[in-house]
Amino acid sequence: MELLKKLCLANGTSGEEENIRDIIIEEVKDYVDEYKTDPLGNLICVKKGTGGGKKIMYAAHMDEIGVIVTVIDDKGFLRFSNIGGINPYNMVHRKVRFKNGTVGVVSFDADTKMGELNLSKMFIDIGAKSKEEAEKYVQIGDSASLVSEFVDLNNHVSCKAMDDRAGCYCLIEAVKKNLRTENDIYYVFTTQEELGLRGATTAGFNVDPDFAIAIDVTRTGDIPEAKRMAVMMDNGVCIKIKDDGIISHPYVVNYMKECAKKDNIKYQLEVLEGGRTDSGAIHLTRSGVKAGVISIPSRYIHSPSETVSKKDLEECIKLIVATEKYQFKEAF
């Protein structure tokens, strides 16, 4: 879990993924034939096939949700906006950390009725006494990540940014299995997913794959009074059928199911109401791409305590590896 912990604790809000990219390059560079960073910051790693194969793209996003400073008031309090989907209630009295190490406590205007909380009523307190003093540490447009601890919860682990460092972690572990097949494999670590799949949009166009699979977290239906959903923690990795951004291609779905059966991988089928992944952008690239998604069940998504199951992570790695191994041939 050390690599996952390192990935989660590193900060990389959308558009500022360089810390994450550096960690990933160190991890994968000895296992791929080439890698490059594109203008949007996507890290595109290529493992060449032995020839005559297809082009396969795997994608996991490096960015995490966060906040961005909009106004610094006379007393030195920072007003902020969201980077990605931020629930104001998840932010109350949490701490955020800026790139230069400045930490702030998030609170809200004292006259706010709890049911009416929104980001415009919230501020960040960095301990400055004036606008002038605050400006020594923070500028308009600076972004910050949630402060969180990586904790072991028996079967589960919890931290900020599991969305989608858990996916990055599984993809890195798959790269390290070092399979060589006839297919050219593109392992892509994307940027700005949380702002609308932006990195995946250009990376998908660039790679122009025959098949694509995104790896990302998904919700579960197993916490008290949860919104109805069949996905459960510890019940295996998910093969996505549908979310708000894609209907997974039936070829890819069937292929993934066969891979799972062949390698004894515990999986569950996923229909996610609300939410999208990088495959939503990739499958609409050029003339269209046959795409699917491997999802990791996660509780408390977009909070400082995103939680995943150690067992599900293992199954996720196994499924990625199996999809590589069987080379996207449906009848094997």
Q: Active-site residues: which are they?
A: 193
Residue 295: CB minimum distance to Zn ion, A:
9
Q: Classify residue 139 by its DSSP letter.
A: -
> Cα–Cα distances in Å, from 304 out to 24, 63, 64, 159, 264?
22, 14, 11, 6, 33
**Considering only residues 17, 64, 173, 216, which one is a binding residue for Zn ion as defined by CB under 5 A?**
216
With CA atoms as reference, report the closest residue to 270 among 300, 232, 308, 299: 232
Interface with Co ion includes 163 (CB under 5 A)?
Answer: yes
* β-pairing verdict for 55-61 and 211-218: parallel
Q: How many residues bind Zn ion (CB under 5 A)?
A: 3
Burial, 200: exposed, middle or buried (Cβ in 10 Å; 0-12, 13-18, 19+)? buried
Choose one: 71-79, 157-165, 201-209, 221-229; the region binding Co ion (CB under 5 A): 157-165
The Cα 23–Cα 20 span in angstroms is 5
8 Å CB contact between 283 and 252:
no
Report the residue number whose CB is nearest to Co ion.
163
Binding mask 160-189 for Zn ion (x = CB under 5 A): ---xx-------------------------
Residue 298 burial (CB count, 10 A): 26
Interface with Zn ion includes 243 (CB under 5 A)?
Answer: no
Q: Site residues for Zn ion, window 108-167 (CB under 5 A)?
A: 163-164
Q: Which is nearer to Zn ion, 216 or 270 (CB)?
A: 216
Binding mask 116-155 for Co ion (x = CB under 5 A): ----------------------------------------
Choose one: 162-170, 184-192, 255-263, 264-272; the region binding Co ion (CB under 5 A): 162-170
The Cα 91–Cα 119 span in angstroms is 9
Decide which of Zn ion, Co ion, none touches 216; Cβ closer than 5 to 8 Å per partner kind: Zn ion
Residues interacting with Co ion, by CB under 5 A? 163
